[in-house]
Amino acid sequence: MKELLTQLNPAFDHRNRLGIMSVLAVNDWVEYNTLKELLNLTDGNLASHLKPLEANEYIIVRKQFVGRKPQTTYAATEAGKAAFKTHLDALEELLKISRDDD
Amino acid sequence: MSNNDQHLEHLAEIRALMERSTRFLSLSGLSGVWAGVCALVGVAAVYAYLEIPILAALGGSFYFDKAINTNKWGMDYKSVFVLIAILVLAAALAGGWFFTARKARLRGERVWDATSRRLLTALAIPLAAGGVFCLALLYRGYLSLLAPCTLIFYGLALVNGGKFTLRDVETLGILQIILGLLGVFYPGYGLEIWALGFGFLHIFYGLWMYYKYDTRRTVHG
């Protein structure tokens, strides 16, 4: 049980960060505005949750111009996807154990 | 225990987000019903043009044998087939768009986003290949293969697109492919099998999906 708890990644401790990783795990590149809509977040909120993920190198940012508009897109790195998977596995195991206890 | 509930909630949310961000879920069952109705009207038009009595369908109408000797309404069979096909397709697409856009509006989602673009691309490639292939069949006079081949290519498109929308679309595609292949073996029944696939299967599946997804979701807004 304790071992499992250490596998829960503090970087994914917040539901919004989990949400960002869920979307990026199954999509190649996702636009900032799409993320905002999917997660129902404000600009400030989304940016504050993207920053730590970026600092951990779990996600990468790409800024480019589409026509004249700047477009910011995000993708999960291999390390990010692996960490996310470990986190999910640990979550699932935890739930399984507690269900057996009931 | 509350920690547990939180974990459960997180997992459910993750699953929902993964699905919502990759699949176009606003596809309306009514779009399918409408497409089925259009297809049946199209078949009725072909029956009328070829003067096939409805009861003949039971023994297979052998539409291609009759088509070659038919010249009515001031048009040969090729023009009539292409005209009917275009009208059916246009009506089915227009209605399909209408019902799906309506459902998206009710769900508070956009019709035109990354998921719908992905779905349309997945559908378009097999459909475009099939469309050109079937035009070539018509042009070269392989009429008996026409109806089953449209079913096969349409089925392949649905299987391909099913990965980016409601899962039932994939099963519908497999059924269309099976019907198409049957049609190649029993070409005499080609038009009837076509009516079964594009017409009745669409209506049946559309209604089923409508009751499964649309009614429930719209209640919750």
- SS3 percent helix, strand, coil of chain B, rounded to 5, is 85, 5, 15
Q: Which of B11, B18, B113 sits opposite A91 (nearest CB)?
A: B11
What pTM was computed for the model?
0.75
CB contact (8 A) between residue B17 and residue A95: no
Residue-level pLDDT, tens digit, chain A, 102 residues = 666 666 777 778 778 888 899 899 888 888 888 888 888 888 888 988 999 899 889 999 999 888 888 889 999 999 998 888 888 888 888 887 777 666
Containing B14, the helix (H) or strand (E) segment is helix B2-22
The 10s digit of each residue's pLDDT in B33-61 is: 999 999 999 988 888 888 887 777 777 77
What per-residue confidence (pLDDT) applies to A3? 67
Which spans in A1-102 are helix H?
2-7, 15-26, 32-39, 43-55, 78-101
The 8-class DSSP code of residue A73 comes to E
Asked if the C-beta of A15 comes within 8 angstroms of chain B's C-beta atoms, the answer is yes
pLDDT band with cut points at 50, 70 and 90 for residue B117: confident
CB atoms within 10 A of CB B167: 9
Asked if the C-beta of B163 comes within 8 angstroms of chain A's C-beta atoms, the answer is no
- How close, in Å, is residue A34 to chain B by CA atoms? 8
Q: To which residue do tokens 């994914």 refer?
A: A12
CB contact (8 A) between residue B7 and residue A94: yes
* Nearest of A33, A22, A21 to residue B114 by alpha carbon: A33
Q: Which of A15, A26, A38 sits opposite B10 (nearest CB)?
A: A15
In total, chain B counts a number of residues equal to: 221
Is the CATH number 1.10.10.10 carried by domain A27-80? yes
Q: Which residue of B has its CA nearest to A84?
A: B14
ipTM: 0.71
**CB contacts < 8 Å between A and B, how many?**
48
Asked if the C-beta of A83 comes within 8 angstroms of chain B's C-beta atoms, the answer is no
